[in-house]
Amino acid sequence: MKAIIGGTGIDKDKRFLDGMERLVTKYGDSYYSVIDGIVFMPRHRPGHSLPPHMINYKANVQTLVDLGVDEVISIYAVGSITRRLAPGRFGLVRDFIDLAYSRENTFYDGSTREVRHTPFVEPFDRKLGACFAGNAVHAGYSLAMDSVYITTNGPRLETPAEIMAYRNMGADVVGMTLGTEAALLKEAGIRNAAVAFSINWAAGLDAEGISFLEDETVDKLTEAIIAIAVKTLS
């Protein structure tokens, strides 16, 4: 079974919301719908009701495990720190830095009585990413490759000094969810390709303060990404 995890685009679209089901796992409950054999999971729950630091990531990933999912395309709205992935574009994430805290971010938390240090030299599945990139190019999109995503805890946005520090650390884009989710997916043995789309320049990089793409533009972008992801997983 294959799955798409997304934020905006999946959690407000009637196509996905109408057939939503709820699964109770050993870590809590989670929502998903299945369309044409693909699982669609709204990361923030239907209606986007949970902020990034309140999401039960373990329940989301365990739901995928319980459904027998072995391959995921995960989609993230981000802010741009470098020009590698500018607002209005999307692309593949190659690596991440995780600055989130106070979150349940591992299945190996002592309760399993097993100590395991999962390797993260290659955080994402290259083959799946290449397949997504091929389909995106085929559909006429130019893709930003190799972005580094930095995960902040949120829910507040960053200060300009923080963004400057993150740029010096090597980050191209900033968001609040990927690090936690990608860690759990890998621990669960699920192949994952992460796709980021940018909706703003990060703090301090836009002369006008901080401004986000209009909803209509974001909807079009997410729709295109979801279509490419569906083609990749079908």
Closest to 40 measured CA to CA, from 67, 58, 80, 78: 67
Q: Give the number of other Cβ atoms within 10 Å of residue 11's Cβ.
A: 22
Alpha-carbon span 98 to 101, nearest angstrom: 9
CB of 204 to ligand HPA, least distance (A): 10
Q: What is the DSSP letter of 85?
A: G
- Tabulate helix, strand, coil % of the chain (nearest 5): 30, 30, 40
Site for ligand HPA in 79-108 (CB under 6 A): 79
**55, 171, 199, 226: residue in contact with ligand HPA (rule CB under 6 A):** 199
Return the number of the residue (128 or 202) whose C-beta is nearest ligand HPA. 202
Q: How many residues bind ligand HPA (CB under 6 A)?
A: 12
**3, 143, 174, 221: residue in contact with ligand HPA (rule CB under 6 A):** 174
Site for ligand HPA in 15-74 (CB under 6 A): none
Q: What token pair was written down for 52?
A: 């990034």
Beta bridge partners of 174: 79, 150
Q: Is 205 in the site for ligand HPA (CB under 6 A)?
A: no
Return the number of the residue (19 or 155) whose C-beta is nearest ligand HPA. 155
Residue 215 near residue 115, CB atoms below 8 Å: no
Q: What token pair was written down for 105?
A: 């971010």
- Single out the segment in contact with ligand HPA by CB under 6 A; choices: 108-116, 138-146, 174-182, 183-191: 174-182
Residues 6+ apart with CB under 8 A from 131: 193, 232
**30, 105, 180, 200: residue in contact with ligand HPA (rule CB under 6 A):** 200
Q: Is 78 in the site for ligand HPA (CB under 6 A)?
A: yes
What does the binding site for ligand HPA look like in residue numbers (CB under 6 A)? Answer: 77-79, 152, 157-158, 174-176, 199-200, 202
